[in-house]
Amino acid sequence: MKKIKLTCAHAIIKHLIAQKILIDGKKEQLFAGAFGIFGHGNVACLGQALQENQDKLPTYRGHHEQNMALTGIAYARAKRRKQFFVATSSVGPGSTNMVTASAVAMSNRLPILFLPGDTYANRMPDPVLQQVEHFNNPGITQNDAFKPVTKYFDRITRPEQILQTLPQAIQTMLDPADCGPACLSLSQDVQGETYEYPEEFFKERVHNIRRPRPDDFQIKQAAEQIKKSKNPLLISGGGVFYSDAMEDLSNFAIKHNIPVTQTVMGYSTMKRDHSHFLGPIGGLGGKAANNLAKQTDLAIAVGTKLADFTTGSWANFENPDFSLVSVNVSRFDASKHLAQSVIGDAKVSLQELSNALGDWKAPDEWHKKSRDELKNWNDYVDKESGPTNQELPSYAHAVGAIYRNSDPTDIAVTAAGGLVGEVVQIWRPKELNTHETEWGFSCMSYEISGALGVKMANPDKEVIAFVGDGSYLLFNSDIYSSVITNNKLIIVLCDNGGHAVINRLQLFKGGKEFNCLFNSSKAPNLVPVNFAKHAESMGAKSEEVSSISELEEAFKRAKKSDVTYLISIKTHSYEWLEGSAYWESPTLEMPSTKENEEALKLHKEGKSKQRQGV
């Protein structure tokens, strides 16, 4: 076998470049690029390898390790896990800054390859700069923090180890059932050490994401269960995107006459004008979906992990005869809460389940009820998000203004905070694949960084990031990244005076306003922030508006801009769209106020409706 002598760092990059993937029959690079902030733990060896190969694996400069990784994660989601990024940092705070981003990827089942620098394998210069020492276990470094938040972790202490571990990391990220972040912690000295690698390691390899088909017996059992249902409901999750199963979902719903709700991560898997579209379900959902959820005798969950905001903390299904069929490529997700599992790819599973159902259809009365519920809810949302002259518009007014003036292909991006729920209910998809959010880990600061990744994946579409002032103040440097890389974003900044949605929860639980809004904090010298000027200082165009009509006109100007454009508007701190589902959150069992007593009463009422099981 022929061999080639390379440093470990160069061998890693050469192997990554050799990986290809088929997308719509066309061969593409599996790794779209790398994000990096260089320091003494990765600049001399891995950094040089990236520099020498930048024509094949482009490297983008980050401004914060967490947010550059979030951009890569958003790119992978927008590419439906078919292409992904590398994120590299130095040893120390650079690497630990990426741990939060890794948790985002882990929670959302999204791929990214972390290559943080680590301490010296030979331990000769220990303790090195930025090393965290464990007195009783010298083998532990700060990079061990990645272990709970990665699907694959290895520490590279010899250059030949990558022969076995790098292909395993790649296969983990490509696995539809076990997809998630991988981390290879690179000892600083080993990056520069040489080894005679077999040439076979660097030959082009073409990948394709497999489609595991479901077991015949599971399909038969699920079909029998569905046929007993009188009021079934489909729940479409993010797995429908990753399986490219939107058309199959539509065909299944029409053929079997079943209304379709969506999770936050599965939103825009169906268009708003589809005959069986019912909108978002759960804690962030609308009354149309949640009213039917409370009555349904069977939910068919497709490609969702069934998180608490989807299920209303499992209190949203009140029918005593309720049962669950869960279609998921992951055994773990498919087997939750006493479900009849169908473990397989969403596209294939929907096709085979439809064949097993034959001509069976749900009753027309149930479908008609779903249409009536949806009309009522749409009328409410249109009214609450319509034009207004009130002094401080609500989030809904601001989102509605953008939605009314958006093009069908415009993509809305949200994460964390109160905007997610308002956007998901108002941004009823005019086209497929037009809503992207991060709700698995609910990570503030994803909004702008994530929007950048979505834009990089969709350069020909307008990407609109909805962000609150709290998230903006947390991280905003990727405005600069978007400007210098010519990835234009439209950023709608709703300034409601702090963390208003948590202030809402604080009050709902019977507490007093404290430390969430700026006005209830102990800051002795509150000063207003001019977000528009701040964004302008990073090269963006910007303006501050004071009314919904001004917002609409500003958005039209932003659409015409060829550079990132931020629009700032002050919004109401206390006005929200109506909630329609229970969500369990910590509640004092020893109330000290009347408000606490009411919160405890509602808490117990919700708990009493929770579905039992694990």
**pLDDT (tens digit per residue) in 248-290:** 999 999 999 999 999 999 999 999 999 999 999 999 999 999 9
Confidence at 612, pLDDT banded by 50, 70, 90: confident
**pLDDT (tens digit per residue) in 1-43:** 899 999 999 999 999 999 999 999 999 999 999 999 999 999 9
Task: Return the bridge partners of 340, or none.
Answer: 325
The mean predicted confidence, pLDDT, of the chain is 97
How many other C-beta atoms are found inside a 10 Å radius of the C-beta of residue 337?
16
- The predicted pLDDT at position 611 comes to 87
CA triplet 15, 17, 22: central angle to 5 degrees?
Answer: 110
Q: Is the pLDDT of residue 614 over 80?
A: no
Q: Is the pLDDT of residue 342 over 90?
A: yes
User: Can you read off the two tokens belonging to residue 86?
Assistant: 């590398």
Q: Which residue type is seen at 19?
A: Q
Percent of the chain predicted with pLDDT > 90: 98
- The predicted pLDDT at position 219 comes to 98
Q: Which residue has the tokens 């202030």?
A: 503
Q: Is the pLDDT of residue 140 over 90?
A: yes
Cα 51 to Cα 47: distance, rounded to the nearest angstrom: 6
Structural domains of the chain, with CATH: 3-207 (3.40.50.970), 216-365 (3.40.50.1220), 385-570 (3.40.50.970)
- What integer is the mean pLDDT of 337-363? 97
Alpha helices in 53-129 (DSSP H): 65-78, 93-107
Nearest alpha carbon to residue 571 among 492, 454, 507, 476: 492
Q: Which residue has the tokens 């096709």?
A: 351
- The predicted pLDDT at position 613 comes to 67
**pLDDT (tens digit per residue) in 479-529:** 999 999 999 999 999 999 999 999 999 999 999 999 999 999 988 899 999
- The predicted pLDDT at position 464 comes to 98
Cα 25 to Cα 404: distance, rounded to the nearest angstrom: 37
**pLDDT (tens digit per residue) in 168-190:** 999 999 999 999 999 999 999 99
**Is 93:130 a contact under the CB 8 Å cutoff?**
yes
How many residues in the chain?
A: 614
- What integer is the mean pLDDT of 149-178? 98
**Is 415:446 a contact under the CB 8 Å cutoff?**
yes
**Is 348:244 a contact under the CB 8 Å cutoff?**
no
